[in-house]
Amino acid sequence: MPTHKIDQQRSESPKTAHPKRGFRVGLGLIGITILSSAVGALLAVSSSTTPLLQRSLTPEEAAVFRKGDSLTRSSLQLPELTRPVHILVMGMSVLTTDIRNSPRETQHLRYNAQVNSFDGLSDVMLLFRFDPESKKVNILSIPRDTRVLMNGYGVIKINAANVEGGPAASARIVNQLLGDVPIDRYLRVNVQGVQKLVEALGGVTVYVPKDMKYQDESQHLYINLKEGKQHLNGEQTLQLLRFRHDQDGDIGRIERQQMVMRALMEQTLNLQTVARLPQILSVIESSLDTNLSVEELVALAGFAVKIDRSKVQMLTLPGEVNGDGRSNVSYWLPDYRRIHEMMVQYFGEE
């Protein structure tokens, strides 16, 4: 073979030997560009490290959340997680009767309206573990009726901790319930924000497990969903999430919450969504309260985008339903032995 042809082949081979590798590199660069834009836009609209903090934490309250090493570091101008992170997420459903000073526009209504507040019961409680070492996300659902002991208040349902002491009290109770699992940050979202978020993401496609029909005139709550696969808007998604008037009660509702979370992650958690974080946050920010910084929010979103969806594990706090024979109050009674086993297996706690 002539020498010039050999030289020509050698010069061309690096360009054609690994087309897939070049494609992946291209996608990686595009992803970095998109995420960098999102970080820049978020930082541009925020002069505070905790722009979505709606409630000032006292030094004692702030001390409840693990400070330790920094959660993030910069890599190619993008923040990324440095260690496993635990986030306590609480969903707030607050009615006018739950707060002392309801908004003026609701004071003359003849029903208990939903208000955009964080001072009520935390009817949804989730502990997220983002682990950059194993590249996994574990999500633990804690039933709202879980029986716990709160200093100064005695036996309560865990969803009342927020009413009595805000997010720090809730984090402290969860820490004790789960065997001193450290909690790094919290995020509270009002039910109105959930509806706005689903709308901003374009809705969600799920399989409604059965016909659901319920109405409560005192709240103007109307649920009317048919069994089957369908694309739900924000209001319909709330109906699915709030329904619990069947034999499965709150545990059935937790299963549906996990179903919706998984569907949202699979359908909407992508680079395009991360790039739209500034716009999405602008729509729902009034319904969010968190001590996460901008950098931490972006690091969590970037991590969630990259992980394999099969490595998202959804769990429910071990226990059983049992009524109090004297007061006829129903609790979810924690099974502490099984909780310890779950913490060791999924949350890295000995």
Q: Give residue 10's pLDDT.
A: 39
pLDDT per residue as tens digits for the range 232-273: 999 999 999 999 888 778 889 999 999 999 999 998 888 788
Q: Give residue 33's pLDDT.
A: 55
- Which residue's structure tokens are 């129903």? 330
Structure tokens at 214: 């319920």
Q: Give residue 15's pLDDT.
A: 43
Can you tell me the distance from the alpha carbon of 299 to that of 305, in angstroms, rounded to the nearest whole number?
A: 10
Structure tokens at 208: 């409604």
Structure tokens at 230: 């369908």
Q: Give residue 159's pLDDT.
A: 96
Q: Give residue 187's pLDDT.
A: 97
Beta strands in 76-198 (DSSP E): 78-81, 85-92, 122-131, 136-141, 147-150, 154-157, 185-190
Residue-range domains of the chain with CATH: 22-346 (3.40.630.190)
Can you tell me the distance from the alpha carbon of 154 to that of 135, in angstroms, rounded to the nearest whole number?
A: 39
Residue 116 CA to its chain's centroid (Å): 18
Hey, CA dihedral for 307, 309, 310, 316, is it positive or negative? positive
302 backbone dihedrals φ, ψ, rounded to 5°: -65, -40
Can you tell me the distance from the alpha carbon of 291 to that of 287, in angstroms, rounded to the nearest whole number?
A: 14
Can you tell me the distance from the alpha carbon of 195 to that of 287, in angstroms, rounded to the nearest whole number?
A: 10
Please compute, for residue 160, the number of CA atoms within 13 A of its CA located in the half-sphere on the CB side. 13
If you count DSSP H runs as helices and E runs as strands, how many of each does the chain have, helices first? Answer: 11, 16
185 backbone dihedrals φ, ψ, rounded to 5°: -150, 170
Q: Give residue 12's pLDDT.
A: 42
Structure tokens at 286: 């009034």
Helix locations, 76-187, DSSP H: 161-177
Can you tell me the distance from the alpha carbon of 83 to that of 63, in angstroms, rounded to the nearest whole number?
A: 19
**206 three-class SS:** strand
**121 three-class SS:** coil
Centre a 10 Å sphere on the Cβ of residue 33 and count the other Cβ atoms it contains: 12
Can you tell me the distance from the alpha carbon of 249 to that of 311, in angstroms, rounded to the nearest whole number?
A: 28
The CA–CA distances, whole Å, from 78 to 83, 85, 128, 139 equal 16, 17, 22, 25
Local mean pLDDT, 10-residue blocks, the chain (350 residues): 44 45 45 53 54 87 82 73 95 87 82 89 95 95 96 94 96 97 96 93 94 91 94 95 84 93 89 81 91 87 88 95 69 96 87
**268 three-class SS:** helix
